[in-house]
C-alpha cells in the first residue's frame, strides 16, 4: 500500500468514526468499527479494546478474533501485560517480541505464543488526564510497529475516547437534568402545600413551612412526599393522626 493510499484510508476511517458520533449511537458498534479498521487498514493481525469499569478493572469490549480475545483475557487474569501497563501509565507500551516479555508477564507470553502472536502493542484511550482503557494491537511475527501505524492507531483511539466520554457526559447530563426537574417539581409541591397549610390553619407562610418540615422530620418522610399528601388532601396538619 502506498503512503498516499494509507493516509487516505486512515482519514476516511477517522471521518467514518466521527460520523458515528450522533444521537443514540452505540459505543460497542463504534469500538468494533475501530478494531476492524486497525486490522484492515493498519495491517495488524488482530486488535482489541479494553475499557475500565467503575472500579477501574479492565474489561474486553471489542475484538477482531477469538485468538486475540483469549490473549487479552490472559492479560486480565494475570494482571500483567502491555494493556495493563498502558492503562496504568497512560502512555503507549510496545512489546516487539513476545519472547522477550518480562517474567511477570509469563502468563501472557505463554498464551500469546500458543495463539500464534509474536508482538503486541498497547495504545491508551486517553483524553488529557483521563485514561479510560486501551487499544491493543497484535502481529503474528516479532516486529516493531511502524511510526505511521502507531500514530494512526493513536488517532483512532483518540476519536473513540472522545466518543465514549461524550456518551458518558450525555448520560450524566440527562441524569442531572432529570434530578433538576424532580427538584423543581418538588419545590412547586412544597409551595402549594405551604399555601394550603397557611390557609387551613390560618398561619403565616413561614410558619406553615415550619409545620410541614417538623411533620416530615417527626415521621421520617421527605418534604416532597409530605407536601404531595397535603396538596392531595390526604394529610391535614390540623389533625395529622
Tens-of-pLDDT digits for all 241 residues of the chain?
555 576 676 666 666 666 555 555 566 767 777 888 888 888 888 888 888 877 788 888 778 876 766 667 666 645 788 888 999 999 999 999 999 989 888 888 888 888 888 999 999 988 877 888 899 998 999 999 888 888 888 888 888 787 777 666 666 666 556 655 665 577 788 889 989 999 999 998 878 888 888 888 888 888 888 889 999 988 888 776 6
Distance CA(227)–CA(188), nearest Å, equals 9
C-alpha cell at 190: 412544597
210 and 161 co-located in one domain: no
Residue 134, domain extent: 3-170
pLDDT at 41: 83
Distance CA(85)–CA(98), nearest Å, equals 15
89 and 189 co-located in one domain: no
164 and 60 co-located in one domain: yes
C-alpha cell at 25: 449511537
Please say which residue of 170, 200, 222 terminates a domain: 170
pTM above 0.95, yes or no: no
183 and 78 co-located in one domain: no
pLDDT at 169: 67
166 and 207 co-located in one domain: no
- As for how many domains the chain has, the answer is 2
77 and 135 co-located in one domain: yes
157 and 179 co-located in one domain: no
Bridge partners of residue 120, in order along the sequence:
95, 138
C-alpha cell at 174: 440527562
Strands 119-127 and 58-63: unpaired
15 and 121 co-located in one domain: yes
* Max CA distance (Å), the chain: 87
Please say which residue of 129, 150, 170 terminates a domain: 170
pLDDT at 76: 65
pLDDT at 113: 87
pLDDT at 119: 92
Amino acid at each position: 500500500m502506498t503512503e498516499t493510499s494509507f493516509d487516505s484510508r486512515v482519514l476516511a476511517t477517522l471521518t467514518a468514526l466521527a460520523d458515528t458520533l450522533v444521537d443514540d449511537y452505540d459505543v460497542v458498534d463504534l469500538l468494533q468499527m475501530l478494531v476492524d479498521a486497525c486490522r484492515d487498514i493498519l495491517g495488524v493481525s488482530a486488535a482489541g479494546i479494553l475499557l475500565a469499569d467503575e472500579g477501574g478493572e479492565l474489561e474486553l469490549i471489542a475484538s477482531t478474533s477469538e485468538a486475540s480475545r483469549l490473549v487479552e483475557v490472559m492479560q486480565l487474569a494475570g494482571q500483567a501485560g502491555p494493556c495493563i501497563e498502558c492503562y496504568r501509565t497512560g502512555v503507549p507500551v510496545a512489546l516487539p517480541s513476545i519472547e522477550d516479555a518480562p517474567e511477570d508477564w509469563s502468563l501472557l507470553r505463554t498464551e500469546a505464543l500458543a495463539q500464534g502472536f509474536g508482538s503486541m502493542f498497547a495504545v491508551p484511550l486517553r483524553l488529557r488526564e483521563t485514561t479510560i482503557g486501551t487499544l491493543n494491537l497484535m502481529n503474528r511475527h516479532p516486529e516493531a510497529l511502524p511510526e505511521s501505524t502507531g500514530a494512526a492507531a493513536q488517532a483512532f483511539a483518540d476519536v473513540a475516547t472522545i466518543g465514549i466520554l461524550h456518551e458518558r457526559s450525555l448520560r450524566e447530563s440527562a441524569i442531572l437534568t432529570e434530578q433538576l426537574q424532580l427538584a423543581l417539581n418538588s419545590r412547586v409541591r412544597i409551595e402549594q402545600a405551604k399555601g394550603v397549610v397557611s390557609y387551613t390553619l390560618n398561619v403565616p407562610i413561614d410558619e406553615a413551612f415550619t409545620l410541614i418540615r417538623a411533620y416530615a422530620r417527626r415521621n421520617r418522610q421527605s418534604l416532597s412526599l409530605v407536601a404531595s399528601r397535603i396538596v392531595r388532601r390526604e394529610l391535614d396538619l390540623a389533625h395529622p393522626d
